[in-house]
Structure 1
Amino acid sequence: MNALDVARGAYARLPLDTRLQLGRVLRHVPSGLKYGGTYRVWRERIRRAAADPAYAAAEQDAALVALLTRARAASPAYRARLAPILGHGPLEADAVRAAWHRIPILTGAETVSLGRALCTVEPERLDECVTGGSSGRPVRFYLDRGRSPVEYAFVHEAWARAGFTPGETRAVFRGVDIAGPSHMHEEPALGELRCSVFHLSDPVMAGYLAAIRRRGIAFLHGYPSALSIFAAYVLRAHGPLAQIRGVLPASERIPAPFRSTIERAFPEATLAPFYGLSEKVAFATEVPGSPDIYAFSPLYGLAELVDAEGIPVTEPGRRGRLVATGLLFPGMPLIRYETGDEAELVEAATRANGRQLRIRHILPRHGQDYLVGRSGILVPLSGMLQVDEEILGIGEFQFVQMEPGRVILRIVPRGGSVPDFTGYLLRANRKAAGELEVTLEIVDHIPTTVRGKRKFIDQRLTLARDAERLTEEAWDREPA
């Protein structure tokens, strides 16, 4: 584990007042010292891959061969999956590519059932992680320690197109726990002014806007659903805000109405979204000048689109399932991992284009869902997603809303036992204090739709359903 990871973990555990005092000192540490040599090397590699397709293709080939060699040799589960297809001898890139689509796709359920057998090192040397649970069935997996400098390199390079540098301050609209009447607090060490997405009423957003203007903050970061609500407020209360130079969306897609509202509110800003996954198997950035078209980094992972039978999608305009293989963190390889997302092919990955898959219209694991707060405001469901140890001890779960301000978390116990959810509910209710109250309901099963799908949120309120419907319709009308 490197110093950056240790420092981040220790800093996050400090009391808020202590973090603020220490953060004001750390804020002035040069970025080169803060992120280290690994960060600088990776930023250089990312830039070179973007400019040199031959380099990018060669680097992906080498990383893929190294990953498969290690997985076959050190992981019992992968030895059984790979050896019948790739044999036991030395691997070469061309042979791997030829046999690639015979390697079975790894589902989330298989990742859970195989678990530690997928690891190439002792799991105790890795970090135990969990997906956000947007499918209603979280996936537990393991990631290499010391990954922060590499992750920061990819994210900062994506944001650089908006003029962002590591020393800039961002106003962050994500689902963080923020106490106090202003519903915001500062994290100077991270360069963040954190704004609650659970309290997007006009009086609270007036405070956000005043703080952003007073501090001269030029970058906004967070859920597009929350950013668009804030942007609409800015237009109503202030008019276009030229101070903002960059909008850095995360964790959700950006439908056309959201993009339009954000662009009108912040006319001088460049939008710099990226696509990533908790499992760290793929990373893509939006192509400049081509809204909603994403290009995957060949250094980060191998991304592919396949149809329902697992056959590669090769015709532009056809949709498929997104499958990805992470190349950066081999402690628990996820090889041909079923992400749960879907997309439309724009350009297949080839050696000529540097193994860079391009897609559009990504449909993520859950839709643009909303909850309705007690005061009638819309609250992005993304902010409520938290997967703690309690959730891992159940079969499946679902959010249900039948009246403003009240949310029911339905859970199906696994094996008849129910974990203690007291702490989970306290944390959830603290995040959305005054707007949402979450209660628990034990059920035998989660009802399915006529197509057999389990809805992640059962929303009964017209206001939220209309917002979601308008978003979906506008998304579907976007030009191909």
Structure 2
Amino acid sequence: MFKLDAARGAYVRSPAIVRRALAPLLRLLPTSFIYGRTYRNWRATIARGASDNCFAAAFQLSSLRQLMAKAQAGSPFYADLFARTFGPEFEAATMTLADFRKLPIIDKRTLAAAGDAMLAVPKSSMDVAHTSGSNGEPPFSFYLDRDRSVREIAFVHQVWSRTGYEPDHAKVVMRGFATQVPSGRSHEWSPALRELRLAVFPMTRVDAAVYLDLIDQRRIRYLYGYPSAIETFARHLNRLGRRPKLPLLGIMPISEPLYGHQRRLFDKIFGDTPIAPFYGLSEKTLFAAELTGQPDIYEFDPLYGVAELIGDDGAPLTRIGQEGRLVGTGFVSTGMPFIRYDSQDRAKLVQLPSAENGQRLRVSGIMPRRKPDFLISHDGDRIVAIDLTPEDPAFFEDIEGYQFFQSVPGLCVIKYVAMPGGCDEKVERIRSELARKAKGKLDFVVQRVEGLENPGSGKRAYIDQQLDLADY
């Protein structure tokens, strides 16, 4: 692990008070130091992989063999799995992709049951992370390398560079930042990362006007965040009759699918602005960028990991147009190896990976396990829901599953299934936390149910929205 890379990642994930304290020093540092040599090397490697299929395929196989060797040597779970799959004489250094695909597919439950036996390095040397639980299930906890952020951001910036964006450019961030209570502060400027961070929950029309003033004052030309948050911002600007003084140069959506109606809205409000979407996972197993000029067609980067598309029977899909589950094996964070990990996301096959195309899988119609949606406030505004629930697993220790239900503007029912022996009173913690976040825009009530309905796809909606969003 490179200590400076770990320090850079720690800064990004540190509390706001820490970032503000370090801001006077960091604003004096050049961008090249903030990201460092590892970042520059990865940008060069990713660019080479994009133009050299032979290099990309060889890099992927070499990285996969290194990951397998690390898992075999350090993880009791994987050492046992490899021995049962390949026999006691397994050698990662000579493994082929065909051998690799003999391994069983693993999921969250398998990882959770294995516990620390999954780890290939000491737990104390890693960061704990959580999925948000926004599919109506409790969050999933796992571990990531402390120095992974620099590698991760190199892939992200390579995609964003299609719009002209580079690390020394300022950007608006509409994700992962909540209004600070009790101060009520709804925005924060990070001089080190040149980010204007804006609260997206709740985002009122008044907020949107203030945000646009801040964007104009700082002459920011790039917008990054949840599509649902950018959509809410754009809708407010449309009602206000306002536009940025300087045309945007790039829109970089994250974490959610980008829908056709959103593209049309962005075009109306922000003009013909390049959009650079990518697909990734918190577990750092898969990374794909939308192909330029081909909306909704995504190509997975073979330098990031191994991407597979499998049928419900676990067999690889081979017919173009077939729909299946995305399975990933990641190289960016390897202390807790994710090998043939079922993302629970679905997509349709466009192009199979092969040596000739650099082992690049192409898909369309990605349907994530975390589905974006909106709640409607008392005054008829859309409320971005992706940042609604807390990530702390302690909030869900007595809940087996939950779902938001709305049929009246301003009122949200939290339906939940209690764990055996669970204490219903603890659900009040979730309700009160959400009410605090909503700042009077929404009221919440809780309702215990025996079960939650799943559609035919097996994916329960995060929000059972009974209101017609076209009216809001």
TM-score, normalization: structure 2? 0.90
Question: How many angstroms does 1:105 deviate by?
Answer: 0.7
Change (3 A) 1:353 1:435: same
Contact 1:397 1:446 in 2 (8 A): no
Instruction: Measure, in 2, the Cα distance between the counterparts of 1:30 and 1:398.
Output: 46
Question: How many angstroms does 1:242 deviate by?
Answer: 5.2
Give the equivalent residue in structure 1 for 2:441.
435
Q: Percent identity?
A: 34
Instruction: Measure, in 1, the Cα distance between the counterparts of 2:244 and 2:12.
Output: 36
State which drifts further: 2-11 or 270-279.
2-11
- Structure 1 residues 380-459: aligned runs within 5 Å: 380-391=384-395, 393-394=397-398, 395-418=400-423, 427-438=433-444, 440-441=446-447, 443=448, 445-449=450-454, 451=456, 453=458, 455-459=460-464
Work out the number of aligned pairs and report it. Answer: 465
RMSD value over aligned CA atoms?
2.7
Contact 1:134 1:456 in 2 (8 A): no
Change (3 A) 1:3 1:70: closer
Instruction: Measure, in 1, the Cα distance between the counterparts of 2:318 and 2:13.
Output: 45
Residue identity opposite 1:48 in structure 2:
R
State which drifts further: 247-256 or 321-330.
321-330
Contact 2:219 2:246 in 1 (8 A): no
Give the equivalent residue in structure 1 for 2:167.
166
How big is each residue's C-alpha offset from its partner over 1:139-198, in whole Å with a ceiling of 9 and x where there is no partner?
Answer: 221111211111111111111111111122111222421235673332333322222222
Structure 1: which 5+ residue stretches go unaligned? Answer: 469-480
Give the equivalent residue in structure 1 for 2:142.
141
SS at match of 1:171: strand
State which drifts further: 334-343 or 239-248.
239-248
Matched, 1:222 2:225: yes
Match of 2:346 among 342, 347, 354: 342
Question: How many angstroms does 1:424 deviate by?
Answer: 5.3
Matched, 1:376 2:380: yes
Question: How many angstroms does 1:118 deviate by?
Answer: 1.3
- Structure 1 residues 39-118: aligned runs within 5 Å: 39-89=39-89, 91=91, 95-118=95-118
How big is each residue's C-alpha offset from its partner over 1:267-309, in whole Å with a ceiling of 9 and x where there is no partner?
Answer: 2421111111010001111111111111111111100101110
Contact 2:179 2:201 in 1 (8 A): no
How big is each residue's C-alpha offset from its partner over 1:438-458, in whole Å with a ceiling of 9 and x where there is no partner?
Answer: 4555x3633224648463434
Contact 1:323 1:338 in 2 (8 A): yes
Match of 1:355 among 354, 359, 370: 359
Instruction: Measure, in 1, the Cα distance between the counterparts of 2:297 and 2:57.
Output: 21
Residue identity opposite 2:160 in structure 1:
W
State which drifts further: 69-78 or 344-353.
69-78
Question: How many angstroms does 1:114 deviate by?
Answer: 1.4
Change (3 A) 1:449 1:34: closer
Question: How many angstroms does 1:421 deviate by?
Answer: 6.1
Question: How many angstroms does 1:354 deviate by?
Answer: 0.7
Give the equivalent residue in structure 2 for 1:477.
none
Change (3 A) 1:74 1:11: closer
Instruction: Measure, in 2, the Cα distance between the counterparts of 1:463 and 1:53.
Output: 47
State which drifts further: 300-309 or 223-232.
223-232
Question: How many angstroms does 1:405 deviate by?
Answer: 2.8
Structure 2: which 5+ residue stretches go unaligned? Answer: none
Question: How many angstroms does 1:58 deviate by?
Answer: 0.4
Change (3 A) 1:452 1:168: closer
SS at match of 1:65: helix
Give the equivalent residue in structure 2 for 1:476.
none
Instruction: Measure, in 2, the Cα distance between the counterparts of 1:53 and 1:30.
Output: 34
State which drifts further: 291-300 or 454-463.
454-463
Change (3 A) 1:424 1:150: farther
State which drifts further: 27-36 or 291-300.
27-36
- Structure 1 residues 200-211: aligned runs within 5 Å: 200-211=203-214
Contact 1:371 1:379 in 2 (8 A): yes
Question: How many angstroms does 1:119 deviate by?
Answer: 1.2
Instruction: Measure, in 1, the Cα distance between the counterparts of 2:12 and 2:109.
Output: 34
TM-score, normalization: structure 1? 0.88
Instruction: Measure, in 2, the Cα distance between the counterparts of 1:15 and 1:130.
Output: 19
Contact 1:75 1:119 in 2 (8 A): yes
